[in-house]
Chain A
Amino acid sequence: MATNTIRVNESPLVLYCLRRADDALVMGHRLSEWCGRGPALEEEMALANMGLDLLGQARSLYTYAAEVEAAGNDEDRYAYLRDARQYRNLLLAEQPNGDFARTILRQFFYAAFADPYWRAMMKSSDPTLAAIAAKSEKESAYHLRHTAEWVIRLGDGTEESHRRAAEAVAHLWPYTGEMFETDAAEQELIAAGVVMDPASFRAEWDRTVSEILSEATLEKPAQGWMQKGGRTGLHSEHLGHMLAEMQVLQRTHPNATW
């Protein structure tokens, strides 16, 4: 059977852009799944708004990856014509929405990372990445504020909301370590000043998470086992279903323009 799955020449910079773009796309997609299901109209707009920001970040990063790869790929080919094994997003990003607490905690853990990350990336020696960072930084600051406020409301709300928020923290915690992982490809870019070492935001992430969880009367889990794999294309069982849905038209009508 013919396949229209693409192959990507993953130079360190291409790989790096795809990893970050995949984080944003997968989370943007997850947030878009909330459409028509939100707990209040205002929150439905906020989730869609954050989803749109993330989709925008994904598009910029894919477009840059395509320019660097120079192999005729583009944002849609990366998004729609790679299989789960080729996706490089964090496992945290692909976690299903679950209840509202699960979604908010997922977005909060990521935003607490993304906010210092994009601010630091504004100093990238790569002008395109620095420009993407300058735009994304404004968005991630909003995402962090919005999700942190909800973590506090849920944690320090009712017994029920506290229970659900605590459950979400416990469930998602093992996926937070992957944000700080690097490999040889990334080390090369760090050494060249193109990207920042995520280890350098670890302290800030810890501080933000500790402060917000404490204000929310939630316990911060002890450091323990951390699940990895997303960055090398080793995903949970959730991603395949998400891609099947997301990619259906591009897979059914190869080479069509939409």
Chain B
Amino acid sequence: MYTQALNSRDDAPAAIRPAEELEHEARFQARVDAEERIEANDWMPAAYRKTLVRQISQHAHSEIIGMLPEGNWITRAPSLRRKAALLAKVQDECGHGLYLYAAAETLGVSREELTDQLLTGKAKYSSIFNYPTMSWADIGAIGWLVDGAAIMNQIPLCRCSYGPYARAMIRVCKEESFHQRQGYEIMLTLCRGSEEQKAMAQDALNRWWWPCLMMFGPPDAASQHSDQSTKWKIKRFSNDELRQKFVDATVPQAQFLGLTLPDPELRFVPDEGGDGTTGHWHYGQIDWDEFKQVIAGNGPCNRDRLAARNKAHAEGEWVREAAMAHAAKRQARQQAA
């Protein structure tokens, strides 16, 4: 479902680099500047490769961990239509995880390695999936807001300089837009329903709004790098630019639902033709301490999410071993025949 700008630094080791490498690098940058796609067999700077492996695998992990909060409601979905749609959505997310692991593998890492990083807590995934789904309305809020934020972030990635990632994003974005509309429709149905249903929707919005704004990563002022990612055209917009876009797009949707956003500072600042920061919705302060805690493993569900993936992995081991043992037996029999 989502990749998050976690903004850790990937500095290339300071070493004296041979002229040949500098030449490669110049040619590489020229191709990126010309909007050419970089492919798996092309030369690329080691730091570019490393940044992409990190970003794509975090994105893949987010899809896989992201199945859990929604999966939590499949068995309790309130109608057969909603149940089928949710099951299909979670299945799509698993598929997104698989495309993304495959894209990461083109950079020379293995899915097993990446999975191991996730299970041991070494690799990160989007902070949003560490929040619990407490009511059915959360499923609507996730589709509407979380997938909405994901789309804001992922649309520019469809033009990312690395071809396999960009192509994966094109497929992912198509399904993601569909999920977002589904989520919004759940919210709309609740808001047109009974008072209890509407209260359920409002409560979900109250709980998911701020965590969704955090999905865009730290504010630009505190952001450690992004310059390099921007130069490499992995990143096309800053965290704050995307966050603002998201707020501007989402506020009218909340108004249409008749819901209130949990931000007393929220107000529209009209465009007065001045400094270019106008014509947008102004929003209040994000609780960056909470963000840091969640990223550090101290969110409400971090331990549960990792435990669930570890349990699935451990309990599935005998199945994977059986499949391998059987494949080996079959091959041996074919060779003997």
What residues of chain A have their CB less than 8 Å away from a CB belonging to chain B?
A: 25, 29, 32-33, 35-45, 48-49, 51-52, 55-56, 58-59, 62, 75-76, 79-80, 99-100, 152-154, 156-158, 160-161, 164, 245-246, 248-250, 253, 256-258
Say whether B88 faces chain A, with CB atoms less than 8 Å apart.
yes
Q: Tell me the nearest residue of chain A to B313, going by C-beta.
A: A39
A36 near B319 with CB under 8 A, answer no
Stretch at the interface among B69-77, B245-253, B279-287: B69-77
Asked if A157 and B326 sit within 8 Å, CB to CB, the answer is yes
8 A-B residue pairs with CB within 8 Å? A35-B74, A36-B309, A39-B315, A48-B87, A55-B80, A80-B79, A158-B325, A160-B318
Contact status B80-A76, CB under 8 Å: yes
Most central of B79, B97, B322 by chain A CB within 10 Å: B322
Q: Does B78 contact A (CB under 8 A)?
A: yes
A75 to B192, CA, bound (A): 22
Q: Which of B161-169, B193-201, B233-241 contacts its partner? A: B193-201
Q: Which residue of A lies closest to B330 (CB)?
A: A156
Contact pick for A35, options B90, B320, B322, CB 8 Å: B90
- Of the candidates B84, B95, B98, B193, which one forms a contact with A257 in the assembled complex, judged by CB atoms under 8 Å apart? B193
In the complex, the chain B residue whose C-beta lies closest to that of A257 is: B193
- Inter-chain contacts of A62 with B (CB < 8 A): 80
Chain A residues lying within 8 Å of B325, measured Cβ to Cβ, are 157-158, 161
Beta-carbon contacts under 8 Å, B275-322 to A: 308-309, 311-312, 315-322
Q: Which of B87, B308, B318 contacts A158 (CB 8 A)?
A: B318
Scan B218-261; emit 1 where CB is below 8 A from any A CB, else 0.
00000000000000000000000000000000000000000000
Say yes or no: A39-B326 contact (C-beta < 8 A), given A52-B84, A59-B84, A245-B75: no
Are B98 and A42 in contact (CB-based, < 8 A)?
A: yes
A37 touches B311 (CB 8 A): yes
A156 CB → nearest B CB, Å: 5
**A123 CB to nearest B CB, Å:** 28
| CB <8 Å contact, B84 and A158 | no
Measured in the bound complex, the distance between the Cα atoms of B95 and A79 in whole Å is 29
CA distance A42 to B99 in the complex (A): 11
Tell me, in angstroms, the Cα distance from A156 to B329 when the chains sit together.
8
CB distance from B331 to the nearest CB of A (A): 13
Asked whether, in the complex, the Cβ of B312 is within 8 Å of the Cβ of A39, the reply is: yes
Contact B74 A32 (CB under 8 A): yes
**In the bound complex, do residue A48 and residue B320 qualify as a contact, i.e. CB atoms below 8 Å apart?**
no
Chain B residues within an 8 Å CB radius of A152 = 326
Contact assessment for B321 and A258 in the assembled complex, using a CB-CB cutoff below 8 Å: no
A76, B95: Cα distance in complex, Å: 29
Q: Within the complex, which residue of B74, B76, B95, B194 is in contact with A45, where a contact is CB–CB below 8 Å?
A: B95
**B61-97 residues at the A interface, CB under 8 angstroms:** 64, 67-68, 71, 74-84, 87-88, 90-91, 94-95, 97
List the 10 closest A-B pairs by CB distance, nearest first. Answer: A39-B316, A157-B322, A161-B322, A35-B71, A39-B319, A249-B78, A258-B78, A48-B91, A153-B326, A157-B326
Do the beta carbons of B83 and A36 come within 8 Å of each other?
no
| B29 at interface by CB-CB < 8 Å | no
B82 and A36 within 8 A (CB): no
Let me know if B322 and A52 touch, CB within 8 A: no
B133 to chain A, nearest CB (A): 12
**Which residues from chain B contact A45 at a C-beta distance below 8 Å?**
91, 94-95, 98
B71 touches A250 (CB 8 A): no
**B84 and A246 contact, CB distance less than 8 A:** no
Partner of B75, one of A33, A43, A58: A33
Asked if B189 is at the interface (CB within 8 A of a chain A CB), the reply is yes
B208 within 8 A of A: no
134-151 of chain B: CB within 8 A of chain A: 136
Whole-angstrom distance between the alpha carbons of A58 and B78 in the complex? 15
CB pair A55 B87 closer than 8 Å: yes
- A39 CA / B197 CA spacing, docked (Å): 37
Given A32-B75, A152-B326, A160-B322 in contact, is the A44-B84 Cβ separation under 8 Å? no
Q: Which residues of B contact A79 (CB under 8 A)?
A: 80
Inter-chain pairs besides A36-B90, A44-B67, 9 sampled, C-beta below 8 Å: A35-B67, A37-B315, A39-B312, A41-B97, A55-B80, A161-B318, A161-B321, A250-B79, A256-B193
A37 touching B87, Cβ below 8 Å: no
B87 engages A154 (CB within 8 Å): no
- Counting CB contacts under 8 A, is B269 at the interface? no
Query: 1/0 contact trace for B173-204 toward A, CB 8 Å?
Result: 00000000000001001101110110000000
Q: Nearest chain A CB to B190's CB is how many angstroms away?
A: 8
- CA gap between A168 and B249 in the complex, in Å: 53
- Cβ contact within 8 Å between A249 and B76: yes
Docked-complex contact B75 and A41, CB < 8 angstroms: no
Kindly list chain A residues whose C-beta atoms are within 8 Å of the C-beta of B309.
36
Whether B323 sits at the interface, judged by CB under 8 Å, is: yes
Closest A residue to B192 using CB positions: A257
Q: Tell me which residues across on chain A come within 8 A of B186, comparing CB atoms.
A: 258
- Among residues of B, the one whose C-beta sits closest to the C-beta of A48 is B91
Complex CA distance for A43 and B190, rounded to whole angstroms: 34
Q: With A29-B75, A256-B194 given, is the CB distance from A52 to B98 under 8 Å?
A: no
Q: Report the minimal beta-carbon distance from B54 to chain A, rounded to whole angstroms.
A: 20
Q: How far, in angstroms, from A29 to B124 measured CA to CA in the complex?
A: 31
Quick check: A249 and B136 within 8 Å, CB to CB? Answer: yes
Known: A32-B75, A257-B189, A258-B136. A56 touches B318 (CB 8 A): no
CB distance from A56 to the nearest CB of B (A): 7
In the docked arrangement, what's the CA distance between A40 and B318, Å?
A: 11
A100 / chain B contacts, CB cutoff of 8 Å = 315-316, 319
